[in-house]
Structure formats: structure tokens, C-alpha cells
Amino acid sequence: MSDTSKFSVQLKKPGWVDDFKAFIMRGNVVDLAVGVVIGAAFTGIVGSLVKDIINPIIGLITGGVDFSNHFAILRGTPALTLADAQKAGDVTINYGLFINAIINFLIVAAAIFWMVRLIEKIYKAPKPAPAGPTPTEALLTEIRDLLKTEQPPA
């Protein structure tokens, strides 16, 4: 029969665990986490806006130009599509995908700008309280009040 069941091992908690717990529970870390989750969801919505609505309109305006298939072959055989060039192992500069990334960024930036602007209009910050008089103004007011209370000699 083994006597190992009589011994219990006590593990000492490292000092950084409490520091980490305090760090995680601070409000700004939780706010950041919420912002990242909402940002990821918002990116999905804007991605769909770009892919499903705006890119077809841009394609219609530009005569059906699909930027994703614009590329330059540095080394390899000529190919009609980027997928064919990549399948053949060609070295390409994919400037069309870069143009798409720029368009997506501009649309995401504009959407965020308009959302922030809308939220600012909906939730206006309260106006700051008017500042009190400066020490000089307070002293002048006190002198004026003292002069008003004095009676001129008769």
C-alpha cells in the first residue's frame, strides 16, 4: 500500500498572477477587448459592403474592370489570370490586389468616419460649465461692491 495519498502538494502562486488579474480587470483593457470584437464584426459588415455592393458598382462604372486580375509577371510564362500565373509558379507583382486593398481601406475609413460622426451627433457631450471669474475679476468685483456700500460725505 502506498503512502503517497497522505502527502498533499501545495503550489505557491506566482506574484505576477495577481498583477495580471488586476491588469485584466481594469476598465480600459475590457473596453479595448470589446472594441476589438466590435471592430471585427464591423469589418465583416464593411467587407460585405465593399465586395457585394461597391465593387460591382465600380466595375459597372469602369466597364467591368476587375482589379484583382491586374498583375505583372516578373518571371514566368504569360498567363491570362492571376490564379493561372500563381498555379504555374510565376513571380508576379499583384498591383490589382493592392488597388483593391486601397479601395477597401478608403471605404472602411469612410464608413468608420460616418459612424463616429453619427454617434457624436446622437450622443452630444454636455457643455462644459462656464469658468468662474479670474482672481483679478473677483478682486475688482469686491472693490466695486465696497465702493457702492460707502456713503459719500455730506
Q: If DSSP states are collapsed to H, E and C, what string results for the chain?
A: CCCHHHCCCCCCCCCHHHHHHHHHHCHHHHHHHHHHHHHHHHHHHHHHHHHHHHHHHHHHHCCCCCHHHCCEEEECCCCCCHHHHHHCCCEEECHHHHHHHHHHHHHHHHHHHHHHHHHHHHCCCCCCCCCCCCHHHHHHHHHHHHHHHCCCCC
- The domain made up of 17-125 has a fold known as 1.10.1200
Q: What is the pLDDT of residue 136?
A: 92
Q: What is the pLDDT of residue 124?
A: 78
Q: Is the pLDDT reported for residue 4 higher than 70?
A: no
Task: Kindly report the average pLDDT of the chain as a whole number.
Answer: 81
Q: pTM for the complete prediction?
A: 0.50
Q: How confident is the model at residue 5 (pLDDT cuts 50, 70, 90)?
A: low
In this predicted model, which residue has the larger pLDDT, 1 or 21? Answer: 21
Domain boundaries, the chain: 17-125
| Mean pLDDT, residues 20-28 taken together | 76
Q: What is the pLDDT of residues 63-96, one digit of tens each?
A: 877 777 888 888 888 888 888 888 888 888 888 8
| Mean pLDDT, residues 100-117 taken together | 82
